[in-house]
Amino acid sequence: MKKALIVGIDDYSGVPLKGCVNDAVSVASLLEKNGDGSPNFSVKLLTSNTENVNCDILVDALEKLFQGNAETALFYFAGHGLINQAGEGYIVAQDGRKGAYGASLYDILTLANQAYPSIKSSVIILDSCHSGSMGEISSFASSDKISTIGNGVTILTACHRSQTAVEYDGHGLFTGILLDSLSGSAADICGRITPASVYSHVDQILGPWDQRPIYKANVQTFITLREVTPKVSLSILRNLLKYFPNESDIFPLDPSFEPDRENIPEHLRHIPVNEEHTRIFKELQLCNRHSLIMPVEAEHMYYAAINSTGCKLTALGAHYRKLELIR
């Protein structure tokens, strides 16, 4: 129930590009499967090295993407983009020319808007110049067109409407970070990668002097682009309910949780190690590394055990505990 149209065009007759086909192929490869190899998106890939991605083919593929029923429809484009004299944004087809550039951003957004609720979530990702103009009302003011982001629509673009999208090291600069995000760098504790987490990852890497990514959304439901191995297993997350029956609880620790007997203070070495406690302590330490819990009155979990204080949930930990409670 998830489908994706992935387009990459290098072979423009006037100003050819170098990394767009490579970008499209790489994005398609990641979106087709989750990190464990399970099916994810059903992908249609259009690249200029295998066919002529002209205006008719591009528009027809877009119309078909946003037809029918689906949980998620995703459109990714890497290629030229422009804004015409009327202020309208376009992605440029392989045969794009004045008066018939390719597909207007207004028309693409209209297709996505009209697809709801048959398609619950539509995601548009553009690595093209001036792509940030998508969804701007001012872009179409002169032609009396209003561009609003409809229910379930998410837009993620490589740059602001006034900026160009840069190529770097065989990929678009934006798509290189997108690929890193989809590979797992933007995953949450449970291994889920969302458009918002991708944007956050891209935004942190691109400095203030680089092209600036744009994120726009009108969503009320959780959208997962891809899943990878969780940072903390679901079985451990579920144990947060057992360790912390209430959000404000402190889980008591003592030296029996710490297996190291060589480096602890000598007056504590007589305390026997409890194997069940050390198992629990490993889980708690993992949760601590991912900011789900924090030691009480101690800098590290080790000292919380040695000094017999304890640990408690962070705000993030309380959030994931609630998710498990809901389940």
CB-based contact 77:47 (threshold 8 Å): no
| pLDDT at 325 (0 to 100) | 59
| pLDDT at 140 (0 to 100) | 45
Across the chain, mean pLDDT equals: 91
CATH of region 2-227 = 3.40.50.1460
Average pLDDT over residues 61-89: 94
Average pLDDT over residues 201-226: 86
Q: What pTM was computed for the model?
A: 0.87
Average pLDDT over residues 74-89: 92
Residues 134-147: tens digit of each pLDDT: 877 554 444 455 55
SS3 154: strand
Q: Is the pLDDT of residue 209 over 70?
A: no
- The share of the chain scoring above pLDDT 90, in percent, equals 72
| pLDDT at 261 (0 to 100) | 79
- The share of the chain scoring above pLDDT 70, in percent, equals 94
Q: Is the pLDDT of residue 184 over 70?
A: yes
Q: Is the pLDDT of residue 58 over 90?
A: yes
Average pLDDT over residues 157-169: 80
Where are the domain boundaries for CATH 3.40.50.1460 in the chain? 2-227
CB-based contact 135:216 (threshold 8 Å): yes
Residues 13-40: tens digit of each pLDDT: 889 999 999 999 999 999 999 999 999 9
Average pLDDT over residues 108-125: 96
| pLDDT at 139 (0 to 100) | 42
| pLDDT at 156 (0 to 100) | 95
In order of 10, 45, 52, 91, 210, the CA distances from 167 in angstroms are: 12, 20, 22, 16, 12
Question: What's the rounded Cα separation, in Å, for the pair 42 and 20?
Answer: 20
| pLDDT at 33 (0 to 100) | 97
